[in-house]
Structure 1
Amino acid sequence: MKLVPGQKAPLFVTKDIFGNTVDLNQIQNEKILLSFFRYAECAMCNLQIAKIMKSKDLFAKKGIQLITVFESPTESLQSSIAYRHQFDFPVIADTNRDLYDLYKVHPSWFKTMRTLSAKGFQHLAEATKKGYKAGGKVEGTLHQIPADFLIGKDKVIQIAHYGNSVIDHFPLEKVFQMS
């Protein structure tokens, strides 16, 4: 059963790709945007990370801590995501899908097929134009669908967005409006 707004967020303690501890319960006085992605070389995922990076000052201003989760192993995320994007938020390698399962983020071939639309091809063209290769190395589940959770300072879920396609993340503008 999917998680819903008003529900307590499932708490976890893990390590990011640089060995730093990420403990949801220890994040105080900030909201948390927990975003689930596919794999390190996913062009659509890298396009979303690039959009996030353009808004990093707004994340700080609004008091939102971003945490991202990928299926790829640490080494791939370090070389692909860390190398491409100068970020200052935790990136978690969840190769065993523990956090995906905890947050009920599941793959879907049907939703993946929805990406084969004019909007999906437009996103892919934008991603490849920025240098993210289409059809990169798949490390994880090809048909993984993204999800985003805005968690309040009280650790209650404010937004539970399960994507309807590979490109469907909750709009950052709406996240910032709610904060």
Structure 2
Amino acid sequence: MSQRLETGQLAPLFSLNDVYDREINLSDYKNKGKKILVSFLRNVTCPFCNFRLHQLTTKNDEWKDRLEMIFFLEAKKSVILRSSFHQGISPIPIISDFERETYERYGTEVSTEKFNITMNSKEQMAVCTELVEKGFQIDSGELILHTVPADFLLDENLNIIKSHYGEDVQDYLPFHEIEAAL
């Protein structure tokens, strides 16, 4: 695992295309008068990540004058584009990082232990079982399953004002902490 990022650090810059082939250059967000939330999620089959994306996209109208969001998924672009759920997220950028290059630069963690802790609860197993019964399939050749999510809230100068590394695969930066920073 790469070193974790801390409050006060300049966020690692990136210039990547999102799944819709739009260039997303983090330095373009500098001095625009808005905070930036960069979220590193698991993949398109993760029910917790999909729920988080849904929650964040519903907040977009409320926050759009004060916050820009960028989502990373560790799935191949073709897998993301096949997902009807993820098609509805645009115009918020979704960046495919199956090779985990930017995940590594931000110090995200892959942990079988934290994955198992989450999946061993009866409540979480019920959610996963329901998804499988509805036809949700996992193609392990196209997905990574044990990444722990991480969120980074940046100021207008791209300095990290809050870094949140999940304690398990469903632990994200709480909304009240995002709203407090806006």
**Pair in the same fold by TM > 0.5:** yes
Show the counterpart of 2:99: 96
Whether 1:163 aligns to 2:166 is yes
Shift of 1:36: 0.5
Aligned partner letter, 1:67: I
Show the counterpart of 1:24: 26
Preserved CA contact (<8 Å) 1:8 1:156: yes
**Aligned counterpart in structure 2 of residue 5 of structure 1, from 4, 7, 13:** 7
**Aligned counterpart in structure 1 of residue 76 of structure 2, from 62, 68, 73:** 73
Aligned partner letter, 2:103: Y
Once the two structures are superposed, residues 41-88 of structure 1 have per-residue CA deviations (whole angstroms, 9 ceiling, x without a partner) of 222211111111221112214x111000011111111121433x3432
What is the TM-score normalised by the length of structure 1?
0.87
Unaligned segments of structure 2, at least 5 residues: none
Preserved CA contact (<8 Å) 1:43 1:136: no
Once the two structures are superposed, residues 132-166 of structure 1 have per-residue CA deviations (whole angstroms, 9 ceiling, x without a partner) of 94x63343321111000001101110111111111
Show the counterpart of 1:47: 51
**Residue 147 of structure 2 aligns to a residue in which SS?**
coil
* C-alpha distance 35-86 of structure 1, shift in aligned 2 (>3 A): closer
Shift of 1:9: 0.7
**Residue 99 of structure 1 aligns to a residue in which SS?**
helix
Unaligned segments of structure 1, at least 5 residues: none
Aligned partner letter, 2:139: K
Misfit runs of 4+, over 4 Å? none
* C-alpha distance 153-118 of structure 1, shift in aligned 2 (>3 A): farther
Whether 1:37 aligns to 2:66 is no
